[in-house]
């Protein structure tokens, strides 16, 4: 039996019955929306860490503090010792574990009992929301989501076909090294104690400012609630570090990024285009500051520049190829409305496949049994949700 997602979306075998897809077409990029939906400032619900073995723990052990990186740093340092977490299917399990803990009052911080019960419209990772909101300006990469609707909440996970997962894990050496530069920058920019440089315990001769060898299993994540238009959204995402002391909220979170040094107008235009993703990724989690490390193609750090997230749209406004954040918010709102109108289910067990194609738009299709089985991946799940979560939700 062929897996449903291996087939071409247009020429599907007759044996695989699916409803014809509903569609949302691409937005007009030349008109600022008249009434863009407001985006509420995110407030943090809880945090969690992943250990060096990628075990989920409800503590802040993986939290890192910002430290100025040394100029001229070699971002290729330690490449051969990189402990790289393999790319996996983007399951929601950790987020759902966190949400369940929060809802049951099992964590410190804002208590759900103090406020009205939260009716959550959307629950997903920050990376998914970034993909959705930046879609109007995405010219190259398509993406696919699995979507379930249970008791009024939409759950969104990225759908990675086996082929795409393999492609992500078999990165070209050059691309793999460039990816590493980003993580090495994180190491140079962070310490485990505020205002203090870590000693490097892994090697005796680490360069100045090195914050320790890169293990991408380790992550510190924040779960926030926010609102786009009328819809309450719970988002989880990784936070690179905190500036100064951590005070239990997102106020001094810092996003770290690397980019090639800007040597002329075309580099500048390319960078300004990238700023859209930096901007959206950051505001979705309430991250107010983005520190960009500019580097040479060889991986040598040249300069660092700090950006205030809220100021970024102003930097690109009126420039050639400028983007408009209001178009993204408006599109995001339309996207969610489209899900509301399209993704129907009697039992909550259905899984829909949402496909975004650059410059075309979005389609949504109800998966058949084979498709759902593929999404479950032989695990104990209802659709793509872990069974324990389902049982908790649907007693
Ligand atoms: P840079 O952003 O400096 O390139 P993030 O910036 O989201 O915290 O991610 C940290 C690093 O992970 C990135 O550093 C990049 O190297 C890598 N990374 C993140 N998203 C990626 C993607 N979609 N493809 C390849 N690498 C990615
Ligand atoms: Mg990160
Ligand atoms: Mg980063």
Contact predicate 192/223, CB 8 Å = no
Q: How far apart are CA 298 and CA 301, in angstroms?
A: 9
Contact predicate 155/349, CB 8 Å = no
pLDDT for the residue numbered 111: 60
Q: How far apart are CA 26 and CA 47, in angstroms?
A: 35
List, for residues 135-170, the tens digit of each pLDDT value: 999 999 999 999 999 999 999 999 998 888 999 999
Which atom of ligand 1 is closest in space to residue 181's alpha carbon?
16
- The number of residues in the chain equals 395
Give yes or no for residue 172 having a pLDDT over 90. yes
Q: Which of 62, 64, 85, 179 to probe ligand 1 with, by most ligand atoms within 8 A of CB?
A: 179
Q: Strand 43-50 and strand 153-158: pairing?
A: unpaired
List, for residues 173-220, the tens digit of each pLDDT value: 999 999 999 999 999 999 999 877 765 444 568 999 999 999 999 999
User: Ligand 3: distance of its center to the CA of 256 in Å?
Assistant: 4
Q: Strand 253-260 and strand 65-66: pairing?
A: unpaired
Which residue's CA is the closest to the ligand 1 atom numbered 6? 257
pLDDT for the residue numbered 15: 39
Which atom of ligand 1 is closest in space to residue 255's alpha carbon?
8
Residues 6+ apart with CB under 8 A from 91: 157, 384
What does DSSP assign to residue 285? T
Ligand (nearest to CA of 130): 1
Task: Extract the tokens encoding 253.
Answer: 């979170």
Kindly state the average pLDDT of the residues 54-67. Answer: 98
Contact predicate 147/343, CB 8 Å = yes
| Angle (nearest 5°) at CA 379 between 374 and 380 | 120
Q: What percent of the chain has pLDDT over 90?
A: 83
In degrees rounded to 5, what are phi and psi of residue 355? -120, 125
Ligand (nearest to CA of 259): 1
């Amino acid at each position: 039996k062929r897996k449903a997602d291996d087939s071409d979306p247009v020429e599907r075998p007759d044996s695989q019955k699916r409803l014809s897809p509903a569609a949302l077409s691409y937005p007009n990029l030349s008109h600022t929306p008249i009434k863009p939906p407001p985006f509420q400032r995110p407030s943090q619900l809880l945090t969690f860490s992943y250990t060096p073995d990628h075990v989920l723990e409800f503590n802040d052990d993986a939290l890192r503090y910002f430290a100025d990186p040394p100029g001229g740093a070699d971002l290729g340092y330690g490449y051969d010792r990189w402990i790289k977490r393999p790319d996996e299917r983007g399951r929601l399990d950790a987020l759902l574990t966190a949400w369940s803990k929060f809802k049951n009052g099992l964590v410190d911080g804002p208590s759900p009992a103090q406020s009205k019960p939260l009716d959550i419209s959307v629950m997903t990772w920050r990376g998914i929301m970034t993909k959705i909101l930046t879609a109007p300006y995405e010219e190259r990469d398509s993406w696919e989501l699995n979507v379930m609707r249970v008791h009024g909440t939409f759950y969104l996970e990225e759908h990675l076909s086996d082929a795409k997962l393999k492609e992500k894990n078999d990165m070209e050496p050059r691309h793999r090294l460039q990816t590493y530069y980003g993580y090495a920058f994180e190491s140079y920019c962070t310490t485990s104690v505020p205002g203090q440089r870590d000693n490097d315990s892994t090697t005796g001769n680490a360069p100045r400012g090195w914050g320790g060898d890169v293990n991408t299993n380790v992550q510190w994540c924040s779960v926030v609630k926010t609102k786009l238009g009328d819809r309450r959204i719970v988002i989880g995402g990784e936070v690179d570090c905190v500036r100064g002391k951590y005070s239990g909220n997102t106020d001094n979170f810092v996003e770290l990024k690397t980019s090639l040094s800007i040597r002329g107008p075309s580099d500048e235009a390319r960078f300004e285009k990238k700023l859209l993703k930096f901007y959206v990724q950051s505001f979705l989690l309430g991250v107010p500051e983005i520190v960009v490390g500019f580097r040479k193609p060889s991986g040598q750090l040249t300069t660092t520049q700090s950006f205030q997230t809220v100021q970024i749209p102003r930097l690109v406004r009126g420039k050639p190829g400028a983007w408009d954040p209001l178009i993204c918010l408006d599109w995001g709102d339309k996207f969610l409305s489209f899900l509301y109108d399209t993704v129907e289910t009697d039992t909550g067990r259905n899984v829909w496949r949402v496909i975004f194609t650059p410059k075309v738009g979005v389609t949504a299709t109800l998966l058949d049994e084979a498709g759902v089985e593929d999404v479950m991946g032989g695990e104990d799940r209802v659709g793509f949700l872990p069974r324990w979560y389902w049982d908790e939700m649907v007693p």
